[in-house]
Amino acid sequence: MSTCTPPVTHATPSDRARLSQLAVADGLMALLRDTATESRPDEQLEALTLAVAADLPVLLWGEPGIGKTAAITQLAESLDLPLTTVIASVHEPSDFSGLPIVGDDPAANGVPMAPPDWAVRLVRAGRGLLFLDELSTAPPAVQAALLRLVLERRIGALQLPPGVRIVAAANPRSSAADGWELSPPLANRFVHLQWHHDHEVVVRGLGGTWPRATLPQLDPGRLSEAVDFARRAVCGLLAARPKLVHQLPSSETRRGGPWPSPRSWDMTLCLIAFATAAGSSRDVLSLLVRGAVGDGPGLELLASLDRMDLPDPEELLADPAGAVLPERGDLRQAVLDGVVAAVRNRPDRSRWDAAWALLVRALETGAPDLVVVPATTLASLRQENWDVPASIERLAGVVSMSRRADHAAARAAAATKAKARR
């Protein structure tokens, strides 16, 4: 039996030169890709990692080319999670709901819904980061098919393991290719984070060092306290503002973003607990809360959190010398007003004196103008048999100066108006 031997081809010098140049080019590309990472404060990256740690679906919104995909890729590498990228807009609805496969006896066994290969790989790995890219270019039918995947982590008959996290990215409709607004049911399943580029991060990254995403360091000793704090915060606000429990926005654009519902409030509670246990900053917490329920309800919740952290007026009156007052002017003003209100509700000579001592302490440790209104109100609460404390003399000058400044400002405003009329 004869065999045919393929002809032997020899590379010409020009071929070898081209191959050599490609090898050099590959070496140059390797050097360009050889970058490092560093721990660097980054609020939006910390918010992203907190939401991922809380196992909540996250949606990054941002203009094209600002690094959303790169951030998610680096996140997966830092967390040692296999990255599976799915471009939602190039798939059919059946790719997410399952493909019907006819078996031997469909009348008896039914028609199973087979999952796509990427879902099977995630189940086999037992963990991973599922990245749903270009979400705003997915048509409504595909968005509807994604509902069960995002909420229940189920594709057809296949249940994704708990070790799989979901992150998505989208461009605003105005800058997306054939963009669609997100449907309200799909939008309400995500924590929405606005992704912006930081020029310092970009410059340092192009120089070879990018920020590193790390999971938050949760304090094991604060877990119960964090859960209790989160529940009190959310329940306290919704008890006082029942209309915030569910508010479907009227405009189509706002429906495609964060808005309050029992589901998104549950996510908010979870995020507050994680941020509290991790000791995250207020700015990071603000990104997360507003990304879950929207700007308006989120800002109301943040304001109520500030009030929860304020010291008890009764404790301050019990020990005015050792009182620790907030640094922020608005919070300090609220505390002083609360102390005066406590004296008004239960007037007593010793409590009145303690309130004056507290106002003096506020004068010594903060802006003088913050004590003007509380001092004026507290003075009006004096009863005839109460002697004027010596400490009031230290406040009298501040009140008098404030009043003179107010009168001067009023006179200047009146003169300006009169001049304008001429």
Q: Domain spans of the chain?
A: 39-100+112-211, 220-308, 313-421
Tokens 């609360």: give the residue: 338
Give the angle subtended at the CA of 135 by the CAs of 154 and 278, to the nearest 5°. 70
156: left (phi over 0), alpha (psi -120 to 50) or beta: left
Model confidence, pTM: 0.74
11-to-5, 15, 117, 403 alpha-carbon distances in Å: 18, 6, 41, 95
Three-class secondary structure of residue 30 per DSSP: helix
Phi, psi of 60 (to 5 degrees): -90, 125
What tens-digit pLDDT sequence spans the chain (422 residues)?
445 555 545 667 777 777 788 888 888 999 988 888 888 788 999 999 999 999 999 999 988 888 888 889 888 988 889 999 999 888 888 888 777 776 666 666 666 777 888 999 999 999 999 999 989 888 889 999 899 899 899 887 889 999 999 999 998 876 665 678 899 999 999 999 999 888 888 888 888 888 887 888 899 999 999 999 999 999 989 988 899 999 999 888 899 999 999 999 999 999 999 999 999 999 999 999 999 999 999 999 998 888 777 888 888 899 888 888 888 887 888 888 888 988 999 998 899 889 888 888 888 888 877 888 888 888 888 888 888 777 666 666 555 544 444 444 455 555 566 666 66
Rounded distance, CA 247 to CA 249, Å? Answer: 6
Q: Does domain 39-100+112-211 have CATH number 3.40.50.300?
A: yes
To 10 degrees, the CA torsion angle through 150, 156, 157, 162?
A: -20
Rounded to the nearest 5 percent, the helix, strand and coil shares of the chain are: 60, 10, 30
Q: Where are the alpha helices (DSSP H) in 100-210?
A: 106-109, 117-125, 140-152, 184-187, 199-206
Determine the distance from the C-alpha atom of residue 395 to the mean position of all C-alpha atoms in its chain, rounded to a whole number.
Answer: 42
Contact 343, 355 (CB under 8 A): yes
Number of other CB atoms surrounding residue 313 within 10 Å: 21
Contact 268, 301 (CB under 8 A): yes
